[in-house]
Amino acid sequence: MKCTDRFHPSIDDFRHSFHRDRDRIIHCSSFRRLEYKTQVFINYEGDYFRTRLTHSLEVSQIARTIVRELGLNEALAESIALAHDLGHTPFGHVGGDELDRVIKDGFSENGFEHNFQSYRVVTKLEKRYKDFDGLNLTFATLEGILKHSYPYKKSFLTEWFEETFELDKHPSLEAMVVDKADEIAYISHDIDDGVKYNLIDFETLKESSLVNEVIKEVKKDGLSEEDKLFRYRFSSLLIAKLVISLIEESKKNGIENRRILCKTIPASEKLPINYGTELNKEIKELKKILHQRLYKHPKILRKMYAGKNCIQNLFYAFTKEPRLMPEEFYKRCENEKVYRVAADFIAGMSDRYAMKMYHEIYGITL
CATH of the domain at 245: 1.10.3210.10
Q: Comparing 74-78, 97-101, 251-255, which segment has the lowest mean pLDDT?
A: 251-255
Which residue has better confidence, 331 or 42? Answer: 331
How far is residue 272's CA from residue 150's CA, in Å, rounded to a whole number? 12
The pLDDT score that the predictor gives to residue 245 is 96
Average model confidence (pLDDT) across the chain: 90
Instruction: Judge whether residue 45 has pLDDT over 70.
Output: no
Residue 351 located in a structural domain: no
Residue 346 located in a structural domain: no
- Reported as a single tens digit per residue, the pLDDT across 144-201 is 999 877 778 788 888 999 888 888 888 899 999 999 999 999 999 999 989 988 999 9
- Reported as a single tens digit per residue, the pLDDT across 265-292 is 787 788 889 999 999 999 999 999 999 9
The torsion of the CA quartet 69, 74, 76, 80, rounded to 10 degrees, works out to: 80
- Reported as a single tens digit per residue, the pLDDT across 48-67 is 578 899 999 999 999 999 99
Rounded to the nearest 5°, which phi and psi values hold at 170? Answer: -70, 155
Based on the structure, what is the number of domains in the chain?
Answer: 1
What share of the chain has pLDDT > 90, as a percent? 69
CA distances for 66 relative to 74, 77, 78, 243, 249, angstroms: 9, 9, 11, 7, 12
Instruction: Judge whether residue 344 has pLDDT over 90.
Output: yes
The pLDDT score that the predictor gives to residue 360 is 94
In contact, 312 and 102? CB cutoff 8 Å: yes
The pLDDT score that the predictor gives to residue 42 is 62
pLDDT band at 217 (very low <50, low <70, confident <90, very high): very high
- Reported as a single tens digit per residue, the pLDDT across 125-149 is 999 888 889 999 999 999 999 987 7
The pLDDT score that the predictor gives to residue 227 is 87
What pTM did the predictor assign?
0.93
Q: Provide the residue range defining the domain that includes 77.
A: 1-8+16-90+115-299
How many other C-beta atoms are found inside a 10 Å radius of the C-beta of residue 252?
10
Residue 252 located in a structural domain: yes
The pLDDT score that the predictor gives to residue 327 is 96
Residue 355 located in a structural domain: no
Which residue has better confidence, 169 or 90? Answer: 90
Which residue has better confidence, 51 or 331? Answer: 331
The pLDDT score that the predictor gives to residue 43 is 55
Residue 149 located in a structural domain: yes
In three-state secondary structure terms, 187 is: helix
- Span 83-108, mean pLDDT? 94
Residue 191 located in a structural domain: yes
How far is residue 210's CA from residue 186's CA, in Å, rounded to a whole number? 15
Residue 276 located in a structural domain: yes
The pLDDT score that the predictor gives to residue 363 is 85
Residue 358 located in a structural domain: no
